[in-house]
Chain A
Amino acid sequence: MRRPSNFAFSTYDSFINEVQDDASISWRKRKKHFFILSHSGKPIYSRYGDEHKLAGFSATLQAIISFVENGGDRVNLIRAGKHQVVFLVKGPIYLVCISCTEEPYMSLRGQLELLYNQMILILTRSVNRCFEKNAKFDMTPLLGGTDVVFSSLIHSFSWNPATFLHAYTCLPLAYAIRQSSGAILQDVADSGVLFAILMCKHKVISLVGAQKASLHPDDMLLLSNFVMSSESFRTSESFSPICLPRFNPMAFLYAYVHYLDGDTYLTLLTTSSDAFYHLKDCRIRVENVLLKSNVLGEVQRSMVDGGMRIEDLPDDRGSRSGAVSSHLGQPGHATYSSERFDEAFLGVGGPAGLWHFIYRSISLDQYVSSEFSSPINSRRQQKRLYRSYQKIYASMHEEGIGPHKTLFKRDDNYVLLCWVTPDFELYAVFDPLADKALAIKTCNRVCQWIKDVENEIFLLGASPFSWWTDPGNTPLPEFAEISL
């Protein structure tokens, strides 16, 4: 896409774009390329390098795809040594990923789907009509200025579990705080707003949909990526057309976006193009309530305190007497609080060699992951852990697998324990020397812990799905014996 000369590149990726084409060694050395091109072979987007300099390369990709298509077949994957080339055809738009990261095909394909839907979020699928009128249509001007949206999405493929879990995560908050923000959002939604979403960075504080309207977690991911990567939303209130691909890929909705503080933003979506002043009024109402009930203060506190820490895993099922003890954000870590962000926080690891976990609630479409703790301290270790999760998730979700499944896997780096049930999925990572029986026991404790604090870590009741019922009475399944 066209890059204005005075555009300040916020990412290293974009900076590199200025100097690379497919002949340069640095371009070839990149581990993971993403391309979008049209069915006539015109480049639309490239993660690295200038699309226009990659016209020849694009044409080659197009030739491969159409050669196979002419034989009445479809090319999905090509392996070439360490490299995988993954293809996704979406009508007149082709997406290609070339990677030597050893990620599973399913994950890479999922990433191409998200990349495509990110583009649909900006343009709607009606962009296909341009190709019907003119097969050689050049799409790059239509995506002007959106480079950073794509590069930020691609970056999130290596840190945000939402990109492969297809679930969203909530900012941990006291139940009453989340309730009061949900109530005012509901109030606003009743006045003709389709979706009201309050988020802090990529975490949901509360969200409400108008009757029968449900928001897909992938749409939330793409919407929040779009808002967070577009700096202009931070400067003032904005009103912009936006398409939610999983809601209706053909139509624009109108998004009112306003940052309430540095990280917290309210997005109000409507079908009406002239609703700006109404949405502005809604935002003022929401903001007043949030200020009065100190929701924004609590949000800031939660950001500092962080979420579930494996060091805090309660001892055993029996010791739940004081409900307070299992609450999040309680004192006891106060000494860390100033340096608790990301890798700055050096935990000591959890019981039985537990290092990290991700829990995904299927009925809620939400997941929760523990904070990183020792020894997963550096970005590199976090990324490696993330890739392991991604891999194991893909293998647990291969086609033809029953609703219940467990897996215990030991390699040089970790013990990985997965437990997939119709209600939830748990992925836990342990020390490579962890004892199996103890690890299983620990997983049961993690599940119990999550149940104990679920009304703080999840958005309950306000789920977009109406069949959600309070799980309070359903017994927790016991993760007993594992067959390997």
Chain B
Amino acid sequence: MGCASSVADRNSGRTASLNPDNGGAVDPKNLKVKLVLLGDSGVGKSCIVLRFVRGQFDPTSKVTVGASFLSQTIALQDSTTVKFEIWDTAGQERYAALAPLYYRGAAVAVVVYDITSPESFAKAQYWVKELQKHGSPDIVMALVGNKADLHEKREVTTQDGIDCAEKNGMFFIETSAKTADNINQLFEEIAKRLPRPSAA
């Protein structure tokens, strides 16, 4: 824990749509970042967000329509705060064409798959490619294998996840929104990897 290394001073491209208005001035102690969740339907994107933002888990799955918007602020040990403005996108095919609307200008992309579903892992790789092609060049990407509590049904090995993440320069973690395992760690790790504006 502690200070994250400064990777880049650039502010991720904010020319595009659906970006919060930061009012120009960027306070290095109080960051505000746009985060988008992508992944196949039913992998638990909304559950991850609701666990992180509200500390809740609802086992009755509610299909997301379009995209939901939530925000949550966390404090890091170096006394900086990071406010995540989260776009939780719908995984259904009909919304795929709209994804750029939500990931354009995002500083962070969290690509989620379900460890019990190889199809969702393939879909995650599709999103990674899509983001590499069309996302901000300095976007922070995380690969998340969710439903880690269902280990007896696991079909995607942890190593596969690690390999895929390494190949694409992503941060990798396995989570369980149900048990809350690694959910806060996911967002804390992301926060540490964010490019910091220079304190000059």
User: In the complex, what residues of B have CB within 8 A of residue A146's CB?
Assistant: 63
Choose one: A141, A142, A145; the contact of B63 (CB below 8 Å): A145
User: In the complex, what residues of A have CB within 8 A of residue B64's CB?
Assistant: 232, 238
Bound: A123/B16 CA distance, A:
25
Bound: A230/B64 CA distance, A:
8
User: In the complex, what residues of B have CB within 8 A of residue A297's CB?
Assistant: none
Flag if A239 contacts B94 (CB, 8 Å). no
User: In the complex, what residues of A have CB within 8 A of residue B50's CB?
Assistant: 235
Tell me whether A122 and B94 are in contact in the complex, defined as CB-CB below 8 angstroms, given that A6-B61, A232-B65, A277-B18 are known contacts.
yes
Choose one: A4, A241, A277, A280; the contact of B66 (CB below 8 Å): A241
Bound: A242/B70 CA distance, A:
20
Residues of chain A from 259 to 312 with CB closer than 8 A to chain B in the complex = 273-274, 276-277, 280
Bound: A240/B46 CA distance, A:
15
Size class of the contact patch on chain B: 20 to 34
Residues of chain B from 62 to 104 with CB closer than 8 A to chain A in the complex = 62-70, 88, 90, 92-95, 98, 101
Tell me whether A233 and B42 are in contact in the complex, defined as CB-CB below 8 angstroms, given that A144-B94, A274-B17, A274-B18 are known contacts.
no
Interface residues of B, dominant DSSP: loop
Bound: A122/B18 CA distance, A:
22
Flag if B68 contacts A238 (CB, 8 Å). yes
Nearest CB on B from A134, distance (A): 15
Nearest CB on B from A25, distance (A): 30
Q: Does B137 contact A (CB under 8 A)?
A: no
Total A residues in contact with B, Cβ cutoff 8 Å: 34
Bound: A10/B17 CA distance, A:
35
Flag if B61 contacts A276 (CB, 8 Å). no
Flag if A239 contacts B66 (CB, 8 Å). yes
User: In the complex, what residues of A have CB within 8 A of residue B62's CB?
Assistant: 230-232, 234-235
Closest B residue to A280 by beta carbon equals B69
Closest B residue to A123 by beta carbon equals B94
Nearest CB on A from B55, distance (A): 14
Q: Does B21 contact A (CB under 8 A)?
A: yes
User: In the complex, what residues of B have CB within 8 A of residue A8's CB?
Assistant: 59-61
Q: Does A423 contact B (CB under 8 A)?
A: no
Bound: A4/B116 CA distance, A:
13
| Contact flags A239-250 to B (C-beta < 8 A → 1, else 0) | 111100000000
Tell me whether A7 and B63 are in contact in the complex, defined as CB-CB below 8 angstroms, given that A142-B94, A232-B68 are known contacts.
yes
Flag if A237 contacts B68 (CB, 8 Å). yes
User: In the complex, what residues of A have CB within 8 A of residue B28's CB?
Assistant: none
Nearest CB on B from A251, distance (A): 14
Flag if A276 contacts B69 (CB, 8 Å). yes
User: In the complex, what residues of B have CB within 8 A of residue A255's CB?
Assistant: 66
Bound: A231/B98 CA distance, A:
21
Find the residue from B18, B50, B59 having the highest chain A CB count within 10 A. Answer: B18
Find the residue from A10, A142, A226, A231 having the highest chain B CB count within 10 A. Answer: A231
Q: Does B41 contact A (CB under 8 A)?
A: yes
Q: Does A236 contact B (CB under 8 A)?
A: yes
Flag if B65 contacts A233 (CB, 8 Å). yes
Flag if B41 contacts A145 (CB, 8 Å). yes
User: In the complex, what residues of A have CB within 8 A of residue B118's CB?
Assistant: none
Bound: A148/B63 CA distance, A:
10
Choose one: B41, B92, B101; the contact of A274 (CB below 8 Å): B101
Tell me whether A273 and B17 are in contact in the complex, defined as CB-CB below 8 angstroms, given that A232-B62, A238-B68, A239-B69 are known contacts.
yes
Bound: A437/B87 CA distance, A:
63
Q: Does B20 contact A (CB under 8 A)?
A: yes
Choose one: B61, B65, B94, B95; the contact of A4 (CB below 8 Å): B61
Flag if A144 contacts B61 (CB, 8 Å). no
Tell me whether A235 and B68 are in contact in the complex, defined as CB-CB below 8 angstroms, given that A8-B59, A273-B17, A274-B17 are known contacts.
yes
Bound: A145/B70 CA distance, A:
22
Bound: A235/B67 CA distance, A:
11
Nearest CB on A from B134, distance (A): 16
Bound: A441/B18 CA distance, A:
60
Closest A residue to B85 by beta carbon equals A277
Tell me whether A277 and B68 are in contact in the complex, defined as CB-CB below 8 angstroms, given that A6-B61, A144-B93 are known contacts.
no
Find the residue from B59, B64, B65 having the highest chain A CB count within 10 A. Answer: B65
Nearest CB on A from B142, distance (A): 21
Flag if A236 contacts B70 (CB, 8 Å). yes
User: In the complex, what residues of B have CB within 8 A of residue A231's CB?
Assistant: 60, 62-63
Bound: A240/B20 CA distance, A:
17
Flag if B61 contacts A7 (CB, 8 Å). yes
Nearest CB on A from B113, distance (A): 14
Closest A residue to B40 by beta carbon equals A4
Bound: A11/B153 CA distance, A:
28
User: In the complex, what residues of B have CB within 8 A of residue A242's CB?
Assistant: 66
Bound: A148/B59 CA distance, A:
17
| Contact flags B1-26 to A (C-beta < 8 A → 1, else 0) | 00000000000000011111100000
User: Which residues of A pack against B, CB within 8 Å?
Assistant: 4, 6-8, 10, 122-123, 141-146, 148, 226, 230-242, 255, 273-274, 276-277, 280
Q: Known pairs A143-B94, A232-B46; list 20 more (Cβ under 8 Å).
A: A4-B61, A6-B42, A8-B59, A10-B60, A142-B92, A144-B94, A146-B63, A148-B63, A230-B62, A232-B62, A232-B64, A236-B88, A237-B70, A238-B65, A239-B66, A240-B67, A240-B90, A273-B101, A274-B18, A280-B69
Q: What are 27 A-B contacts with C-beta separation under 8 Å?
A: A4-B61, A7-B61, A8-B61, A122-B94, A141-B93, A143-B94, A144-B92, A145-B90, A146-B63, A231-B60, A231-B62, A232-B62, A232-B64, A235-B46, A235-B50, A235-B68, A236-B68, A236-B70, A236-B88, A237-B68, A237-B70, A238-B65, A240-B67, A255-B66, A277-B19, A277-B20, A280-B69
User: Which residues of B pack against A, CB within 8 Å?
Assistant: 16-21, 41-42, 46, 50, 59-70, 88, 90, 92-95, 98, 101
